[in-house]
């Protein structure tokens, strides 16, 4: 799909030089850059979501489960030593 964008002359010149160094068209360079940017945004959004989940305290049932698991792990470690 064709589209038109406004971009600073200096940035366009750098993009053209980079495209030439990489042996790709300007359009391909911009597509690669947007793809990388969107992938980075998705990763950052996922990290924010995970941080929100782990920032909250576990539910009481989860706390009991974690306590039980920790006890089993401690016993397993002691037995292996």
* Neighbour-count burial for 43-69, b at 16+ CB within 10 Å, e otherwise: eeeeeeeeeeeeeeeeeeeeeeeeeee
Residue 2, CB-side half-sphere exposure with 13 Å CA sphere: 0
Q: Is the pTM of this model over 0.85?
A: no
pLDDT tens, residue by residue, 18-65: 999 999 999 999 999 999 999 999 999 999 999 988 888 778 888 888
* pLDDT exceeds 70 at position 81: no
Contact 26, 15 (CB under 8 A): yes
Q: Of 23 and 78, which is predicted with more confidence?
A: 23
Domain boundaries, the chain: 9-80
């Amino acid at each position: 799909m064709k589209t038109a964008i406004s971009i600073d002359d200096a940035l366009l010149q750098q993009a053209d030089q980079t495209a030439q160094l990489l042996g790709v068209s300007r359009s391909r360079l911009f597509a690669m850059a947007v793809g990388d940017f969107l992938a980075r945004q998705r990763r950052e959004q996922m990290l924010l979501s995970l941080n929100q989940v782990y920032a909250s305290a576990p539910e009481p049932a989860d706390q009991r489960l974690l306590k039980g698991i920790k006890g089993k792990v401690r016993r397993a470690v002691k037995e292996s030593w």
